[in-house]
Amino acid sequence: MDYEALSELEQAIEPWLQHMTWRRDYGRWRERRINQELYQDERLAMLSGVAGELRGLRVLDLGAGMGGFAVAAALRGARVVACEYNPAYCEIVRLRAERHNLRLPVFNAAGETLPFADASFDVVVAWDVIEHVQSPTAMLREIARVLRPKGHCLITAINRRAWIDPHYHLPGINWLPRMLAEVLIARRGRTKAGAAFRDMQRLSEMHYFHYGQFIRLCKRHGFRAKDLRQEQLRRGTLRSPKPTRRAIRRVLRGLGLEGLAYRVQRRWYVGMFELALEKMQ
């Protein structure tokens, strides 16, 4: 690859993609990372569905990663602050914001110790974050602290029973003892060895959850939780991209079993839970 021909943003991102070159769709996946802010419509719709009009909304993007969501929300008029633990990612967020002439505050901090005053935000989003922190409990406590009363948090959590692991893209490893799963990951060449990551986590070091377990954890920190996908199912707006899945859902719906099938899949199959949390006080 000719690095000199890449934009400054692409040059900053490129080292953080090399651990995924085994992907069959690597070219398309890379393009979505480079232009991440263009692929946020679904999550922006989730945000507006929970919190209403985005313009003027005080939003903390906690664990902002490469900044795609933060920039996309800012372009829609939200007052976004990005917070990211990886200093290199903080620079990527700044470069992405500069691409659109945005002045977007970026803080380098951990989710367990946020550098913001109490009740600073209307919404906190934490996509693909809580599995990586040292203490999920401390992170949820901090989210509750910086949210205003009745504020919202949109958060994802990884299913401990996920059939296809969201990080290593291997089937069945979450149904194995962690030690055996990590041997399989190494043999399949799916570790981050040799990549830009220096704080690489093994599978056994990440925090995965059973659905009920995570709901109870959120409740202990003063949140009421809703499954965003289940809400879409109830409203009739849940999309299934594959024709076979749409056909199966039609049959299940006709039998009155679609809701039950969803809950079974959530328990034993899906990769992650997507939740809306409301701070009760």
CA distances from 42 to 27, 72, 83, 102, 124 (A): 22, 11, 21, 22, 17
Identify the three-state secondary structure at position 125: strand
Q: Cite the DSSP H helix spans in the chain.
A: 8-13, 26-34, 41-51, 68-75, 87-99, 136-146, 178-187, 211-220, 228-235, 243-254, 258-268
Q: What is the pTM of this model?
A: 0.92
Q: What is the Cα 66 distance to its own chain's centre?
A: 12
**What does the pLDDT profile of the chain (281 residues) look like in tens digits?**
444 557 999 999 999 998 888 888 999 999 999 999 999 999 999 999 999 999 999 999 999 999 999 999 999 999 999 999 999 999 999 999 999 999 999 999 999 999 999 999 999 999 999 999 999 999 999 999 999 999 999 999 999 999 999 999 999 999 999 999 999 999 988 876 655 555 568 899 999 999 999 999 999 999 999 999 999 999 999 988 889 999 999 999 999 999 999 999 999 999 999 999 999 98
